[in-house]
């Protein structure tokens, strides 16, 4: 419980570290295809590490309290298929894949 409190303090204590999202928009398959076509015609730009400062403050103790729910694994409900589990970026894993 102590680690959970520390995690929330680390994440929510400073407004500068708050994660902000864009406006909500309904999913549109045609817009997704158009976005993919536009992206395919431009050079690759790697994603930035926009939360690097927040990741530096995430200690190993706090990071160990974050876990992935097995029922959300890729192919979790497929019989015989390997389950792929994802993990959060943290101090040692800052780069996006």
Maximum separation of any 2 CA atoms in the chain, in Å: 49
> Cα 89 vs. chain centroid, distance in angstroms?
7
SS3 label, residue 35: helix
Per-residue pLDDT of the chain (97 residues; tens, 9 = 90+): 555 555 555 555 555 455 677 888 889 999 999 999 999 999 988 877 677 677 777 777 777 787 777 787 788 888 888 877 776 666 556 565 5
| Residue of 42, 50, 44 lying closest to 22 (CA atoms) | 50
Domain spans of the chain?
1-17+51-97
Residues with Cβ within 8 Å of residue 74, at least 6 apart in sequence: 83, 84, 85, 86
pLDDT at 34: 95
């Amino acid at each position: 419980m102590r680690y959970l409190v520390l995690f929330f303090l680390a994440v929510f204590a400073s407004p500068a570290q708050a994660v902000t999202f864009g406006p909500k928009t309904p999913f549109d398959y045609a817009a997704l295809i158009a976005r993919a076509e536009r992206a395919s015609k431009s050079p690759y730009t790697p994603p930035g590490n926009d939360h690097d400062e927040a990741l530096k403050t995430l200690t190993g103790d706090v990071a160990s309290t974050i876990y992935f729910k097995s029922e959300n694994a890729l192919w979790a409900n497929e019989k015989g298929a390997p389950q792929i589990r994802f993990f959060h970026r943290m101090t040692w894993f800052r780069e996006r894949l």
